[in-house]
Homo-oligomer: A and B are copies of this chain.
Amino acid sequence: MAAARQSERGRIPPHPDVRAISTQQVLEALVDPVRRHIVGELHAAREDLSCGTIELPVSKSTATHHFHVLREAGLIRQYYVGTSRMNALRREEFDEVFPGLLRALVTGHARESDARREA
């Protein structure tokens, strides 16, 4: 392979193997509402999203922190496209190790978002 693919250029630290992630780590990641929002949006969008396209009520540096935590918890995979860092939900991989968990939480996310909108 003569040239590294564009997606690989932006030295993003290696992603963890989901099988090496503990329930503890996953819950610590998902207990934060901002991070749960990110996961919910990625799940609903059904496509990869750049950090910037997900509206968050925090500063950019804080957002970076949250994406970092999600990546370390095996929930998202990140790669660069130009200057944008893309985020992909690691659905299948995650589901194999924590069956039903993502579904259960995203259900709650959707339900409570609806409730907010109706209010």
Q: Which of B23, B30, B112 contacts A108 (CB 8 A)?
A: B23
Contacts of A24 in B (CB 8 A): 31, 33
Note all chain B residues with C-beta closer than 8 A to A105: 23, 27, 101
List A residues at the B interface (Cβ < 8 Å): 22-24, 26-28, 30-31, 33, 36, 98-101, 103-105, 107-109, 112
Known: A98-B104, A100-B104, A101-B105. 19 other contacts (CB 8 A): A23-B36, A23-B105, A23-B108, A23-B109, A23-B112, A24-B31, A26-B108, A27-B27, A27-B30, A27-B31, A27-B36, A98-B107, A98-B108, A99-B107, A100-B101, A100-B107, A101-B101, A101-B108, A104-B104
